[in-house]
């Protein structure tokens, strides 16, 4: 039961929770001018970066678009790309290439492919997790992006835009995606799928699934699939609830937030336990820094200046009320993790040891915030 590909959007109208990005893409397509040679979609894991990349390629390559820039969905190009999206494969003029090969040879191979001619309007290359490229590879990519082949268009997707060189960012048309409100995920994605598939889940269960994945639609569909499979296999309500909790804990982004929650709460055992999910230590420590920065920014902002984007992180991490002493201490915690990030990027020693050492130092700082309070986990 592959709900992810089955319900992967192929229309801008079907994309949920990314209204600003969708409106901008509509404006670009409506003008029917040349699409920027390089486009960047950045944002948290599983928020629609590659999906929007495919839809942009679909609409831009349509042979008979409407006056509003909508794809006709009937021409040979549209049919080929839509079929590729649903089947999870590459299309005739669209190649999705995860950046697993990080070096300069990968960019040279990409450049050679980009010079092939195509009967379609554009030859699209979607580079996922582009931040994995090495510095020499970025230098080679910069030369390619500055003078790309006439028909070639590149879409970069990343969870770590700060890792991209400034020279690369300056060549991009940038879309910043955000984590999607669980209520939107439940209302606009999970409930319609539940109805069409006749799963029979009630609204509270659908909402619980949406909350567990905390704004990540693809993970929500995967979790719904596993929850339904457990129910059909005869699992008890307690087993199903345990399934939800264990699957959520195994997700890297959830583990990152729980790690931050534990650090802020002064709970070393939980903070260390969550590090077992750090399959990519460089990404893990980077996201810890982002989450702690959100708490810091929310703390130092007044009610009128506070950014509502940080409310979700505050809800999960649950820091105590701010005070000048705690703001200063959190700054110290951030420096600890920034130092850990530098050590990991510099390959100076065992990455897991670096993370564990940082967690121990950070908890020692936060435990001094209030020795009388009972921290929650």
Q: Which fold would CATH assign to domain 3-176?
A: Rossmann fold (3.40.50)
**Residue 182 structure tokens:** 């669980």
Task: Quickly state the pLDDT bin for 263 (edges 50, 70, 90).
Answer: very high
User: Are the beta carbons of 126 and 96 closer than 8 angstroms?
Assistant: yes
CA distance 54 to 64: 18
Mean pLDDT of 344-359: 85
Q: Output the pLDDT for position 305.
A: 44
Which residues have CB under 8 Å from 340's CB, separation 6+? 285, 354, 355, 357, 358
Instruction: Please state, in angstroms and rounded to a whole number, the distance separating the CA atoms of residues 283 and 256.
Output: 10
| Residue 349 contacts residue 343 (beta carbons within 8 Å) | yes
Distance CA 179, CA 43 (A): 8
What is the mean pLDDT of the segment spanning 36-42?
94
Strand order from edge to edge, sheet including 94-98: 94-98, 123-128, 152-158, 38-42, 173-176
For 232-259, the pLDDT digits (tens) are 888 777 776 766 665 554 556 678 888 9
Q: What is the pLDDT of residues 55-67, one digit of tens each?
A: 999 999 999 998 8
What is the pLDDT averaged over residues 109-137? 89
Mean pLDDT, the chain, rounded, equals 84
Beta partners for residue 114, in sequence order: none
Q: CB neighbours of 326 closer than 8 A, spacing ≥ 6?
A: 299, 319, 320, 369
Sorting pLDDT into bands at 50, 70 and 90, what band is 376? very low
Measured CA to CA, the distance from residue 8 to residue 157 in angstroms comes to 17
Higher pLDDT, 182 or 162: 182
Whether domain 252-366 has CATH 3.10.28.10: the reply is no
Which of 80-84, 145-149, 280-284 comes out lowest in average pLDDT?
280-284
- 103-112, 187-196, 218-227: range with highest mean pLDDT: 187-196
């Amino acid at each position: 039961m592959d709900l992810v590909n089955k319900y992967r959007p192929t229309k801008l109208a079907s994309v949920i929770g990314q209204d600003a990005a969708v409106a901008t893409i509509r404006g670009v397509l409506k003008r029917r001018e040349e699409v920027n040679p390089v486009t960047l979609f950045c944002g948290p894991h599983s928020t629609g970066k590659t999906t929007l990349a495919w839809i942009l390629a679909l609409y831009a390559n349509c042979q008979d678009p409407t006056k509003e820039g909508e794809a006709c969905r009937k021409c040979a190009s549209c049919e080929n790309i839509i079929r590729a999206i649903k089947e999870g494969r590459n299309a005739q003029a669209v190649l999705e290439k995860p950046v697993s090969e990080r070096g300069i040879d990968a960019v040279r191979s990409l450049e050679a492919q980009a010079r092939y001619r195509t009967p379609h309007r554009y030859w699209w290359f979607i580079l996922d997790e582009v931040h994995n490229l090495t510095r020499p590879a970025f230098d080679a990519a910069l030369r390619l992006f500055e003078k790309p082949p006439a028909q070639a268009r590149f879409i970069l997707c990343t969870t770590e835009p700060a890792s991209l060189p400034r020279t690369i960012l300056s060549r991009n048309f940038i879309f910043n995606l955000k984590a999607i409100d669980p209520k939107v995920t439940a209302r606009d994605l999970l409930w319609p799928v539940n109805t069409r598939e006749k799963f029979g889940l009630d609204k509270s269960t659908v909402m619980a699934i949406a909350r567990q994945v905390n704004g990540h639609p693809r993970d929500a569909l995967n979790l719904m699939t596993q929850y339904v499979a457990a129910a059909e296999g005869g699992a008890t309500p307690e087993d199903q609830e345990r399934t939800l909790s264990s699957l959520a804990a195994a997700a890297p982004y959830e583990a990152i937030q729980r790690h931050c929650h534990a650090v802020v709460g002064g709970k070393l055992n939980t903070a260390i336990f969550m590090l077992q999910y750090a399959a990519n230590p460089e990404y893990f420590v980077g996201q810890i820094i982002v989450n702690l920065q959100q708490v810091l920014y929310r703390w130092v902002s007044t009610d009128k200046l506070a950014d509502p984007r940080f409310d979700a992180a505050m809800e999960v991490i649950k820091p105590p009320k701010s005070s000048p002493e705690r703001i200063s201490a959190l700054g110290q915690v951030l420096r600890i993790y920034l130092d850990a990030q530098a050590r990991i990027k510099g390959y100076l020693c065992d990455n897991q040891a670096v993370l564990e050492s940082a967690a121990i130092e950070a908890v020692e700082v936060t435990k001094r915030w209030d020795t009388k309070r009972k921290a929650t986990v």
